[in-house]
A and B are shown apart, each in its own frame.
Chain A
Protein backbone atom coordinates (compact mmCIF):
# COMPACT_ATOMS: atom_id res chain seq x y z
CA UNK A 1 0.00 0.00 0.00
CA UNK A 2 2.58 2.54 1.12
CA UNK A 3 4.72 1.56 -1.85
CA UNK A 4 1.96 2.70 -4.14
CA UNK A 5 1.73 6.03 -2.38
CA UNK A 6 5.47 6.50 -2.32
CA UNK A 7 5.85 5.72 -5.97
CA UNK A 8 2.99 8.09 -6.72
CA UNK A 9 4.73 10.78 -4.68
CA UNK A 10 8.01 10.08 -6.39
CA UNK A 11 6.33 10.32 -9.78
CA UNK A 12 4.78 13.64 -8.75
CA UNK A 13 8.17 14.90 -7.65
CA UNK A 14 9.78 13.77 -10.89
CA UNK A 15 7.28 15.61 -13.06
CA UNK A 16 7.64 18.69 -10.88
CA UNK A 17 11.42 18.60 -11.18
CA UNK A 18 11.13 18.18 -14.93
CA UNK A 19 8.70 21.08 -15.08
CA UNK A 20 11.03 23.28 -13.03
CA UNK A 21 13.97 22.44 -15.26
CA UNK A 22 11.85 23.22 -18.30
CA UNK A 23 10.78 26.47 -16.68
CA UNK A 24 14.40 27.41 -15.94
CA UNK A 25 15.46 26.81 -19.54
CA UNK A 26 12.48 28.72 -20.93
CA UNK A 27 12.92 31.74 -18.68
CA UNK A 28 16.65 31.72 -19.48
CA UNK A 29 15.86 32.08 -23.17
CA UNK A 30 13.28 34.77 -22.44
CA UNK A 31 15.76 36.80 -20.38
CA UNK A 32 18.44 36.39 -23.04
CA UNK A 33 16.12 37.69 -25.78
CA UNK A 34 15.02 40.60 -23.59
CA UNK A 35 18.59 41.64 -22.80
CA UNK A 36 19.45 41.45 -26.50
CA UNK A 37 16.47 43.65 -27.39
CA UNK A 38 17.37 46.22 -24.72
CA UNK A 39 20.97 46.37 -25.97
CA UNK A 40 19.78 46.68 -29.57
CA UNK A 41 17.38 49.46 -28.54
CA UNK A 42 20.17 51.36 -26.74
CA UNK A 43 22.56 51.01 -29.69
CA UNK A 44 19.85 52.05 -32.14
CA UNK A 45 19.03 55.15 -30.11
CA UNK A 46 22.71 56.14 -29.68
CA UNK A 47 23.58 55.66 -33.37
CA UNK A 48 20.39 57.59 -34.23
CA UNK A 49 18.95 54.67 -36.22
CA UNK A 50 15.74 55.60 -34.46
CA UNK A 51 14.57 58.92 -33.11
CA UNK A 52 15.45 58.91 -29.41
CA UNK A 53 12.94 61.71 -28.84
CA UNK A 54 10.09 59.53 -30.09
CA UNK A 55 11.20 56.15 -28.77
CA UNK A 56 13.20 56.87 -25.65
CA UNK A 57 16.16 54.70 -24.74
CA UNK A 58 17.12 52.26 -21.98
CA UNK A 59 19.77 54.59 -20.64
CA UNK A 60 17.28 57.46 -20.72
CA UNK A 61 14.80 55.36 -18.78
CA UNK A 62 17.46 54.59 -16.19
CA UNK A 63 18.24 58.31 -15.85
CA UNK A 64 14.54 59.09 -15.52
CA UNK A 65 14.33 56.47 -12.76
CA UNK A 66 17.28 58.01 -10.86
CA UNK A 67 15.81 61.48 -11.19
CA UNK A 68 12.37 60.23 -10.19
CA UNK A 69 13.77 58.52 -7.10
CA UNK A 70 16.03 61.33 -5.93
CA UNK A 71 14.08 64.45 -6.85
CA UNK A 72 10.64 63.41 -8.03
CA UNK A 73 7.63 61.59 -6.68
CA UNK A 74 8.34 58.16 -8.14
CA UNK A 75 7.91 56.37 -4.80
CA UNK A 76 4.76 58.28 -3.88
CA UNK A 77 3.31 57.72 -7.35
CA UNK A 78 4.04 54.00 -7.23
CA UNK A 79 2.60 53.57 -3.75
CA UNK A 80 -0.49 55.60 -4.66
CA UNK A 81 -1.28 53.42 -7.68
CA UNK A 82 -0.47 50.24 -5.77
CA UNK A 83 -2.81 51.33 -2.99
CA UNK A 84 -5.65 52.15 -5.36
CA UNK A 85 -5.23 48.90 -7.27
CA UNK A 86 -5.04 46.66 -4.23
CA UNK A 87 -7.96 48.37 -2.48
CA UNK A 88 -10.08 48.23 -5.63
CA UNK A 89 -9.16 44.62 -6.24
CA UNK A 90 -9.86 43.52 -2.69
CA UNK A 91 -13.10 45.46 -2.25
CA UNK A 92 -14.50 44.87 -5.76
CA UNK A 93 -13.53 41.22 -6.09
CA UNK A 94 -14.30 40.52 -2.44
CA UNK A 95 -17.83 41.85 -2.74
CA UNK A 96 -18.30 40.16 -6.11
CA UNK A 97 -17.10 36.79 -4.87
CA UNK A 98 -19.05 37.02 -1.61
CA UNK A 99 -22.27 38.01 -3.35
CA UNK A 100 -21.80 35.51 -6.17
CA UNK A 101 -21.30 32.62 -3.77
CA UNK A 102 -24.09 33.64 -1.39
CA UNK A 103 -26.53 33.76 -4.31
CA UNK A 104 -26.22 29.96 -4.35
CA UNK A 105 -28.76 29.97 -1.50
CA UNK A 106 -31.37 31.71 -3.66
CA UNK A 107 -31.15 30.35 -7.22
CA UNK A 108 -34.09 32.44 -8.42
CA UNK A 109 -32.58 35.71 -7.25
CA UNK A 110 -29.27 34.55 -8.70
CA UNK A 111 -30.74 34.34 -12.19
CA UNK A 112 -31.95 37.95 -12.07
CA UNK A 113 -28.81 39.32 -10.41
CA UNK A 114 -26.59 37.51 -12.85
CA UNK A 115 -28.49 39.15 -15.70
CA UNK A 116 -27.66 42.57 -14.27
CA UNK A 117 -24.06 41.56 -13.68
CA UNK A 118 -23.70 40.54 -17.32
CA UNK A 119 -25.02 43.95 -18.42
CA UNK A 120 -22.69 45.71 -15.97
CA UNK A 121 -19.83 43.61 -17.24
CA UNK A 122 -20.51 44.50 -20.85
CA UNK A 123 -20.21 48.25 -20.11
CA UNK A 124 -16.67 49.41 -20.86
CA UNK A 125 -15.92 50.32 -17.24
CA UNK A 126 -13.44 52.97 -18.34
CA UNK A 127 -16.30 54.88 -19.93
CA UNK A 128 -17.69 55.34 -16.43
CA UNK A 129 -14.48 57.18 -15.45
CA UNK A 130 -15.73 60.76 -15.90
CA UNK A 131 -18.90 59.96 -13.91
CA UNK A 132 -16.96 58.41 -11.09
CA UNK A 133 -14.54 61.34 -10.96
CA UNK A 134 -17.46 63.79 -10.82
CA UNK A 135 -19.15 61.79 -8.03
CA UNK A 136 -16.13 60.92 -5.92
CA UNK A 137 -13.63 63.67 -6.71
CA UNK A 138 -10.14 63.54 -8.12
CA UNK A 139 -8.40 61.94 -5.14
CA UNK A 140 -7.80 58.26 -4.41
CA UNK A 141 -11.45 57.40 -3.68
CA UNK A 142 -12.53 57.70 -7.31
CA UNK A 143 -9.69 55.41 -8.49
CA UNK A 144 -10.55 52.78 -5.91
CA UNK A 145 -14.13 52.93 -7.12
CA UNK A 146 -13.14 52.56 -10.74
CA UNK A 147 -10.78 49.67 -9.98
CA UNK A 148 -13.45 48.06 -7.80
CA UNK A 149 -16.20 48.38 -10.41
CA UNK A 150 -13.84 46.96 -13.03
CA UNK A 151 -13.42 43.78 -11.00
CA UNK A 152 -16.81 43.37 -9.32
CA UNK A 153 -18.90 41.99 -12.17
CA UNK A 154 -16.32 39.49 -13.36
CA UNK A 155 -15.84 38.20 -9.82
CA UNK A 156 -19.56 37.91 -9.25
CA UNK A 157 -20.37 36.17 -12.51
CA UNK A 158 -17.62 33.61 -12.19
CA UNK A 159 -18.20 32.80 -8.54
CA UNK A 160 -21.92 32.51 -9.23
CA UNK A 161 -21.10 30.03 -11.99
CA UNK A 162 -18.61 28.20 -9.78
CA UNK A 163 -21.26 27.70 -7.09
CA UNK A 164 -23.82 26.57 -9.63
CA UNK A 165 -21.47 24.16 -11.42
CA UNK A 166 -20.67 22.21 -8.27
CA UNK A 167 -20.57 18.44 -8.83
CA UNK A 168 -24.21 17.30 -8.65
CA UNK A 169 -23.26 13.85 -7.37
CA UNK A 170 -21.36 15.42 -4.48
CA UNK A 171 -24.33 17.67 -3.80
CA UNK A 172 -26.60 14.60 -3.71
CA UNK A 173 -24.17 12.87 -1.37
CA UNK A 174 -24.39 15.82 1.02
CA UNK A 175 -28.16 15.77 0.77
CA UNK A 176 -28.28 12.04 1.46
CA UNK A 177 -26.35 12.75 4.66
CA UNK A 178 -29.13 15.26 5.48
CA UNK A 179 -26.73 18.22 5.41
CA UNK A 180 -28.29 21.64 6.02
CA UNK A 181 -27.81 24.33 3.34
CA UNK A 182 -25.33 26.22 5.56
CA UNK A 183 -23.22 23.08 5.89
CA UNK A 184 -23.35 22.38 2.16
CA UNK A 185 -22.24 25.96 1.52
CA UNK A 186 -19.32 25.84 3.93
CA UNK A 187 -18.08 22.35 3.27
CA UNK A 188 -18.85 21.91 -0.41
CA UNK A 189 -19.68 25.09 -2.33
CA UNK A 190 -16.88 27.29 -1.01
CA UNK A 191 -14.04 24.75 -1.20
CA UNK A 192 -14.98 23.58 -4.67
CA UNK A 193 -15.25 27.22 -5.86
CA UNK A 194 -11.78 28.16 -4.55
CA UNK A 195 -9.81 27.31 -7.72
CA UNK A 196 -12.25 29.42 -9.77
CA UNK A 197 -11.97 32.25 -7.28
CA UNK A 198 -8.21 32.34 -7.56
CA UNK A 199 -8.21 32.34 -11.34
CA UNK A 200 -10.74 35.20 -11.24
CA UNK A 201 -8.48 37.11 -8.87
CA UNK A 202 -5.55 36.72 -11.24
CA UNK A 203 -7.56 38.07 -14.17
CA UNK A 204 -8.87 40.89 -12.01
CA UNK A 205 -5.38 42.16 -11.16
CA UNK A 206 -5.16 43.46 -14.72
CA UNK A 207 -8.66 44.98 -14.64
CA UNK A 208 -8.03 46.72 -11.32
CA UNK A 209 -4.77 48.15 -12.62
CA UNK A 210 -6.47 49.48 -15.74
CA UNK A 211 -9.22 51.03 -13.61
CA UNK A 212 -6.72 52.78 -11.34
CA UNK A 213 -4.48 54.07 -14.14
CA UNK A 214 -7.31 55.30 -16.35
CA UNK A 215 -8.85 57.00 -13.33
CA UNK A 216 -5.53 58.81 -12.86
CA UNK A 217 -5.44 59.79 -16.54
CA UNK A 218 -8.82 61.48 -16.16
CA UNK A 219 -8.09 63.53 -13.07
CA UNK A 220 -5.46 63.13 -10.40
CA UNK A 221 -2.66 64.71 -8.38
CA UNK A 222 -0.55 61.58 -7.97
CA UNK A 223 -0.04 58.03 -9.18
CA UNK A 224 1.84 56.33 -11.98
CA UNK A 225 -1.05 57.01 -14.40
CA UNK A 226 -0.71 60.69 -13.51
CA UNK A 227 3.07 60.58 -14.05
CA UNK A 228 2.74 58.78 -17.39
CA UNK A 229 0.02 61.16 -18.57
CA UNK A 230 2.00 64.30 -17.65
CA UNK A 231 5.23 62.93 -19.14
CA UNK A 232 3.42 61.94 -22.31
CA UNK A 233 2.04 65.41 -22.82
CA UNK A 234 5.61 66.74 -22.39
CA UNK A 235 7.04 64.18 -24.87
CA UNK A 236 9.16 62.78 -22.02
CA UNK A 237 9.04 59.27 -23.47
CA UNK A 238 11.60 57.86 -21.03
CA UNK A 239 9.37 58.62 -18.06
CA UNK A 240 6.41 57.11 -19.91
CA UNK A 241 8.39 53.90 -20.39
CA UNK A 242 9.46 53.99 -16.75
CA UNK A 243 5.83 54.17 -15.65
CA UNK A 244 4.88 51.28 -17.92
CA UNK A 245 7.74 49.15 -16.62
CA UNK A 246 6.78 49.79 -12.99
CA UNK A 247 3.14 49.00 -13.75
CA UNK A 248 4.20 45.71 -15.35
CA UNK A 249 6.34 44.83 -12.35
CA UNK A 250 3.44 45.72 -10.08
CA UNK A 251 1.08 43.40 -11.96
CA UNK A 252 3.67 40.62 -11.82
CA UNK A 253 4.20 41.11 -8.10
CA UNK A 254 0.45 40.98 -7.42
CA UNK A 255 0.15 37.83 -9.53
CA UNK A 256 2.88 36.22 -7.47
CA UNK A 257 1.12 37.13 -4.24
CA UNK A 258 -2.15 35.63 -5.48
CA UNK A 259 -0.29 32.54 -6.71
CA UNK A 260 1.42 32.20 -3.34
CA UNK A 261 -1.89 32.47 -1.51
CA UNK A 262 -3.41 29.93 -3.88
CA UNK A 263 -0.61 27.45 -3.29
CA UNK A 264 -1.02 27.86 0.45
CA UNK A 265 -4.80 27.61 0.52
CA UNK A 266 -5.34 24.99 -2.20
CA UNK A 267 -2.43 22.92 -0.99
CA UNK A 268 -4.28 19.68 -1.84
CA UNK A 269 -3.72 20.43 -5.50
CA UNK A 270 0.05 20.29 -5.14
CA UNK A 271 0.31 17.84 -2.25
CA UNK A 272 0.20 14.51 -3.94
Chain B
Protein backbone atom coordinates (compact mmCIF):
# COMPACT_ATOMS: atom_id res chain seq x y z
CA UNK B 1 0.00 0.00 0.00
CA UNK B 2 2.47 2.56 1.20
CA UNK B 3 5.32 2.24 -1.20
CA UNK B 4 8.21 4.62 -1.27
CA UNK B 5 6.88 6.53 -4.27
CA UNK B 6 3.25 6.33 -3.38
CA UNK B 7 0.90 8.13 -5.70
CA UNK B 8 0.03 11.43 -4.16
CA UNK B 9 3.58 11.94 -2.97
CA UNK B 10 4.63 15.47 -3.80
CA UNK B 11 8.16 14.43 -4.60
CA UNK B 12 9.50 12.40 -7.52
CA UNK B 13 12.11 9.74 -6.88
CA UNK B 14 14.83 11.87 -8.46
CA UNK B 15 14.29 14.75 -6.09
CA UNK B 16 14.32 12.34 -3.13
CA UNK B 17 17.70 11.08 -4.32
CA UNK B 18 18.93 14.64 -4.70
CA UNK B 19 17.85 15.55 -1.20
CA UNK B 20 19.45 12.39 0.19
CA UNK B 21 22.82 12.94 -1.38
CA UNK B 22 22.85 16.52 -0.14
CA UNK B 23 22.50 15.04 3.32
CA UNK B 24 25.70 13.02 3.17
CA UNK B 25 28.61 14.82 4.81
CA UNK B 26 32.31 14.03 4.45
CA UNK B 27 33.96 12.35 7.45
CA UNK B 28 30.66 11.99 9.29
CA UNK B 29 30.09 11.45 12.99
CA UNK B 30 26.88 9.66 12.17
CA UNK B 31 25.98 7.79 9.02
CA UNK B 32 22.54 6.41 8.40
CA UNK B 33 22.59 4.46 5.13
CA UNK B 34 19.76 2.49 3.54
CA UNK B 35 17.96 2.25 6.86
CA UNK B 36 15.00 -0.15 6.82
CA UNK B 37 12.86 -0.56 9.87
CA UNK B 38 9.23 -1.31 10.60
CA UNK B 39 6.88 -2.86 13.08
CA UNK B 40 4.12 -5.41 13.02
CA UNK B 41 0.75 -4.56 14.47
CA UNK B 42 -1.29 -7.07 16.47
CA UNK B 43 -3.27 -8.16 13.42
CA UNK B 44 -0.05 -9.06 11.61
CA UNK B 45 0.11 -6.10 9.24
CA UNK B 46 3.68 -4.97 8.68
CA UNK B 47 4.19 -1.25 8.54
CA UNK B 48 7.48 0.08 7.23
CA UNK B 49 8.61 3.15 9.14
CA UNK B 50 11.81 3.63 7.18
CA UNK B 51 12.65 2.29 3.73
CA UNK B 52 16.11 3.26 2.56
CA UNK B 53 16.66 6.35 4.67
CA UNK B 54 20.02 8.11 4.18
CA UNK B 55 21.62 11.00 5.98
CA UNK B 56 24.77 11.87 7.85
CA UNK B 57 25.95 14.35 10.41
CA UNK B 58 29.39 15.96 10.25
CA UNK B 59 31.72 16.58 13.18
CA UNK B 60 30.60 19.55 15.20
CA UNK B 61 27.36 19.86 13.28
CA UNK B 62 23.97 20.39 14.89
CA UNK B 63 21.15 18.73 12.96
CA UNK B 64 17.49 18.92 13.91
CA UNK B 65 14.99 16.32 12.82
CA UNK B 66 11.48 17.66 12.74
CA UNK B 67 8.28 15.93 11.77
CA UNK B 68 4.76 15.44 12.92
CA UNK B 69 4.11 12.98 15.72
CA UNK B 70 4.03 9.49 14.29
CA UNK B 71 6.60 10.37 11.65
CA UNK B 72 9.07 7.95 13.25
CA UNK B 73 11.22 10.47 15.11
CA UNK B 74 11.30 8.49 18.33
CA UNK B 75 12.05 5.23 16.54
CA UNK B 76 14.89 6.92 14.69
CA UNK B 77 16.14 8.22 18.03
CA UNK B 78 16.08 4.72 19.54
CA UNK B 79 17.83 3.29 16.50
CA UNK B 80 20.64 5.83 16.56
CA UNK B 81 21.06 5.55 20.34
CA UNK B 82 21.39 1.78 19.94
CA UNK B 83 18.33 0.89 22.01
CA UNK B 84 16.88 -0.71 18.87
CA UNK B 85 18.80 -2.54 16.15
CA UNK B 86 17.88 -1.68 12.59
CA UNK B 87 16.19 -4.42 10.57
CA UNK B 88 18.14 -3.37 7.53
CA UNK B 89 20.79 -0.87 6.47
CA UNK B 90 23.59 0.72 8.43
CA UNK B 91 23.81 3.12 11.33
CA UNK B 92 27.40 4.03 11.98
CA UNK B 93 28.83 6.26 14.62
CA UNK B 94 32.06 7.80 13.38
CA UNK B 95 35.33 7.50 15.29
CA UNK B 96 36.57 10.38 17.35
CA UNK B 97 39.38 12.61 16.12
CA UNK B 98 42.08 10.56 17.91
CA UNK B 99 40.79 7.36 16.30
CA UNK B 100 39.01 6.01 19.39
CA UNK B 101 35.53 4.52 19.15
CA UNK B 102 32.70 7.02 18.99
CA UNK B 103 30.15 7.25 21.77
CA UNK B 104 26.52 8.25 21.64
CA UNK B 105 24.85 9.79 24.69
CA UNK B 106 21.30 11.02 24.86
CA UNK B 107 19.03 13.26 26.83
CA UNK B 108 15.25 13.25 26.98
CA UNK B 109 12.52 15.59 28.12
CA UNK B 110 12.52 13.61 31.39
CA UNK B 111 15.75 14.41 33.20
CA UNK B 112 16.03 10.79 34.48
CA UNK B 113 17.97 11.81 37.56
CA UNK B 114 17.95 9.15 40.25
CA UNK B 115 16.40 10.44 43.46
CA UNK B 116 18.84 8.52 45.65
CA UNK B 117 21.87 10.20 44.13
CA UNK B 118 23.11 13.72 44.69
CA UNK B 119 23.55 16.03 41.73
CA UNK B 120 27.26 15.19 41.58
CA UNK B 121 26.60 11.44 41.83
CA UNK B 122 23.98 11.71 39.10
CA UNK B 123 26.36 13.63 36.89
CA UNK B 124 29.09 10.97 37.01
CA UNK B 125 26.71 8.03 36.44
CA UNK B 126 27.75 7.53 32.82
CA UNK B 127 31.43 7.23 33.75
CA UNK B 128 30.68 5.05 36.75
CA UNK B 129 28.93 2.50 34.55
CA UNK B 130 31.96 1.74 32.42
CA UNK B 131 34.94 2.40 34.63
CA UNK B 132 36.01 3.49 38.08
CA UNK B 133 35.35 7.16 38.77
CA UNK B 134 38.65 8.92 39.37
CA UNK B 135 39.36 12.09 41.32
CA UNK B 136 39.94 13.75 37.98
CA UNK B 137 36.42 12.83 36.84
CA UNK B 138 34.94 14.32 40.00
CA UNK B 139 36.89 17.51 39.46
CA UNK B 140 35.70 17.70 35.88
CA UNK B 141 32.09 17.10 36.93
CA UNK B 142 32.32 19.83 39.59
CA UNK B 143 33.82 22.20 37.06
CA UNK B 144 31.08 21.54 34.53
CA UNK B 145 28.32 21.87 37.13
CA UNK B 146 29.92 25.12 38.28
CA UNK B 147 29.89 26.40 34.72
CA UNK B 148 26.13 25.84 34.71
CA UNK B 149 25.79 27.76 37.97
CA UNK B 150 25.21 24.65 40.06
CA UNK B 151 28.28 24.69 42.32
CA UNK B 152 26.22 25.39 45.44
CA UNK B 153 23.96 22.39 44.94
CA UNK B 154 26.32 19.59 43.90
CA UNK B 155 25.49 17.66 47.08
CA UNK B 156 21.74 18.33 46.98
CA UNK B 157 19.24 15.70 45.91
CA UNK B 158 17.28 16.23 42.68
CA UNK B 159 13.91 16.60 44.47
CA UNK B 160 15.09 19.90 45.95
CA UNK B 161 15.86 21.56 42.63
CA UNK B 162 14.03 23.21 39.79
CA UNK B 163 13.40 21.63 36.40
CA UNK B 164 16.02 23.81 34.71
CA UNK B 165 18.69 22.87 37.24
CA UNK B 166 17.83 19.21 36.97
CA UNK B 167 17.97 19.32 33.19
CA UNK B 168 21.41 20.95 33.38
CA UNK B 169 22.61 18.07 35.53
CA UNK B 170 21.19 15.67 32.94
CA UNK B 171 23.14 17.57 30.29
CA UNK B 172 26.29 17.35 32.41
CA UNK B 173 25.77 13.60 32.80
CA UNK B 174 25.39 13.29 29.02
CA UNK B 175 28.53 15.30 28.27
CA UNK B 176 30.81 13.81 30.93
CA UNK B 177 31.09 10.55 28.98
CA UNK B 178 32.77 12.54 26.18
CA UNK B 179 30.28 11.59 23.51
CA UNK B 180 31.11 12.18 19.88
CA UNK B 181 27.40 12.44 19.20
CA UNK B 182 24.74 13.82 21.52
CA UNK B 183 21.12 12.90 20.86
CA UNK B 184 18.46 15.17 22.25
CA UNK B 185 14.77 14.27 22.22
CA UNK B 186 12.66 17.35 22.98
CA UNK B 187 15.00 17.99 25.88
CA UNK B 188 13.75 21.42 26.88
CA UNK B 189 10.05 21.28 26.13
CA UNK B 190 9.07 21.00 29.80
CA UNK B 191 11.02 24.09 30.79
CA UNK B 192 10.06 27.73 30.98
CA UNK B 193 11.07 29.94 28.06
CA UNK B 194 14.00 31.68 29.72
CA UNK B 195 15.61 28.49 31.03
CA UNK B 196 15.06 26.95 27.67
CA UNK B 197 16.95 29.69 25.82
CA UNK B 198 19.81 29.37 28.31
CA UNK B 199 20.01 25.61 27.79
CA UNK B 200 19.88 26.00 24.03
CA UNK B 201 22.93 28.24 24.35
CA UNK B 202 24.64 25.60 26.49
CA UNK B 203 24.13 23.02 23.76
CA UNK B 204 25.25 25.35 21.00
CA UNK B 205 28.40 26.11 22.98
CA UNK B 206 29.38 22.43 22.90
CA UNK B 207 30.40 22.60 19.32
CA UNK B 208 32.93 25.30 20.03
CA UNK B 209 34.30 23.69 23.17
CA UNK B 210 34.51 20.04 22.13
CA UNK B 211 33.39 19.62 18.52
CA UNK B 212 30.57 17.37 19.62
CA UNK B 213 27.91 16.65 16.99
CA UNK B 214 24.32 17.04 18.05
CA UNK B 215 21.14 15.49 16.70
CA UNK B 216 18.05 17.17 18.04
CA UNK B 217 14.66 15.52 17.62
CA UNK B 218 11.88 18.01 18.13
CA UNK B 219 8.53 19.27 16.94
CA UNK B 220 9.40 22.83 17.91
CA UNK B 221 10.38 24.53 14.65
CA UNK B 222 11.69 27.67 16.36
CA UNK B 223 14.04 25.68 18.54
CA UNK B 224 15.19 23.66 15.54
CA UNK B 225 16.02 26.78 13.51
CA UNK B 226 17.62 28.64 16.40
CA UNK B 227 19.99 25.82 17.30
CA UNK B 228 20.81 23.95 14.11
CA UNK B 229 23.11 24.08 11.13
CA UNK B 230 20.60 21.98 9.25
CA UNK B 231 16.98 20.98 9.72
CA UNK B 232 15.77 17.70 8.28
CA UNK B 233 12.04 17.42 7.72
CA UNK B 234 10.83 13.86 8.11
CA UNK B 235 7.43 12.82 6.76
CA UNK B 236 5.32 10.22 5.05
CA UNK B 237 5.12 6.53 5.69
CA UNK B 238 7.60 5.04 5.24
CA UNK B 239 9.29 8.20 6.45
CA UNK B 240 11.63 9.94 4.07
CA UNK B 241 13.45 13.23 4.10
CA UNK B 242 10.91 15.66 2.69
CA UNK B 243 13.17 18.65 2.94
CA UNK B 244 16.63 19.47 4.20
CA UNK B 245 17.22 23.08 5.08
CA UNK B 246 20.66 24.55 5.70
CA UNK B 247 20.27 27.21 8.33
CA UNK B 248 22.40 30.27 7.67
CA UNK B 249 21.47 33.19 9.86
CA UNK B 250 22.97 36.66 9.69
CA UNK B 251 22.81 37.35 13.41
CA UNK B 252 23.96 40.52 15.07
CA UNK B 253 26.98 39.47 17.05
CA UNK B 254 27.58 35.81 17.91
CA UNK B 255 24.80 33.36 17.31
CA UNK B 256 22.82 32.66 20.45
CA UNK B 257 19.34 31.32 21.11
CA UNK B 258 18.05 34.90 21.24
CA UNK B 259 20.03 36.49 18.39
CA UNK B 260 19.17 33.55 16.12
CA UNK B 261 15.48 34.18 16.66
CA UNK B 262 15.96 37.82 15.76
CA UNK B 263 17.81 37.11 12.50
CA UNK B 264 16.06 38.39 9.35
CA UNK B 265 16.01 34.93 7.76
CA UNK B 266 14.25 33.36 10.72
CA UNK B 267 10.67 33.99 9.53
CA UNK B 268 11.35 32.74 6.00
CA UNK B 269 12.94 29.56 7.27
CA UNK B 270 10.14 29.06 9.74
CA UNK B 271 7.58 29.48 6.97
CA UNK B 272 9.33 26.99 4.73
CA UNK B 273 9.60 24.27 7.39
CA UNK B 274 6.11 24.90 8.74
CA UNK B 275 4.75 24.70 5.19
CA UNK B 276 6.62 21.42 4.68
CA UNK B 277 5.13 19.98 7.86
CA UNK B 278 1.61 20.98 6.86
CA UNK B 279 1.75 19.71 3.28
CA UNK B 280 3.14 16.54 4.73
CA UNK B 281 0.05 16.06 6.87
CA UNK B 282 -2.21 16.30 3.88
CA UNK B 283 -0.61 13.60 1.81
CA UNK B 284 0.10 11.53 4.90
CA UNK B 285 -3.63 11.21 5.60
CA UNK B 286 -4.23 10.91 1.86
CA UNK B 287 -1.93 7.91 1.63
CA UNK B 288 -3.45 6.10 4.59
CA UNK B 289 -6.99 6.10 3.21
| Residues 1-25 of A contacting B (Cβ, < 8 Å) | 1-2, 4-5, 8-9, 12
Whether A177 touches B130, Cβ cut-off 8 Å, given contacts A169-B108, A172-B83, is yes
* Contact of B82 with A176 in the complex, beta carbons under 8 Å: yes
* Contact of A175 with B83 in the complex, beta carbons under 8 Å: yes
**Chain A interface main SS type:** helix
* Contact of A5 with B116 in the complex, beta carbons under 8 Å: no
Task: Tell me, yes or no, whether A47 is within 8 Å of chain B by CB.
Answer: no
Contact of A272 among B106, B149, B160 (CB under 8 A): B160
* Cα A179 to Cα B160 with chains together (Å): 28
A183 contact set on B, CB distance < 8 A: 129
A28 contact set on B, CB distance < 8 A: none
Task: Tell me, yes or no, whether B35 is within 8 Å of chain A by CB.
Answer: no
| Residues 148-182 of A contacting B (Cβ, < 8 Å) | 167, 169-170, 172-179
Distance to closest chain A CB from B50 (angstroms): 20
Query: B18-26, B150-158, B198-206, B232-240: which one contacts chain A?
Result: B150-158
**Chain B interface main SS type:** loop
Task: Tell me, yes or no, whether B115 is within 8 Å of chain A by CB.
Answer: yes
Task: Tell me, yes or no, whether B104 is within 8 Å of chain A by CB.
Answer: yes
Number of A-B contacts (CB under 8 A): 68
A172 contact set on B, CB distance < 8 A: 83
* Contact of A272 with B153 in the complex, beta carbons under 8 Å: no
* Cα A222 to Cα B114 with chains together (Å): 48
Whether A191 touches B161, Cβ cut-off 8 Å, given contacts A169-B108, A176-B104, A183-B129, is no
Task: Tell me, yes or no, whether B81 is within 8 Å of chain A by CB.
Answer: yes
* Cα A272 to Cα B129 with chains together (Å): 26
A230 contact set on B, CB distance < 8 A: none
* Contact of A272 with B157 in the complex, beta carbons under 8 Å: yes
Q: List 23 A-B contacts (CB under 8 A).
A: A1-B152, A1-B165, A2-B153, A4-B161, A5-B152, A5-B156, A167-B112, A169-B108, A170-B114, A172-B83, A175-B82, A176-B81, A176-B83, A177-B105, A177-B126, A177-B129, A178-B129, A187-B125, A187-B129, A192-B114, A192-B116, A268-B157, A269-B115
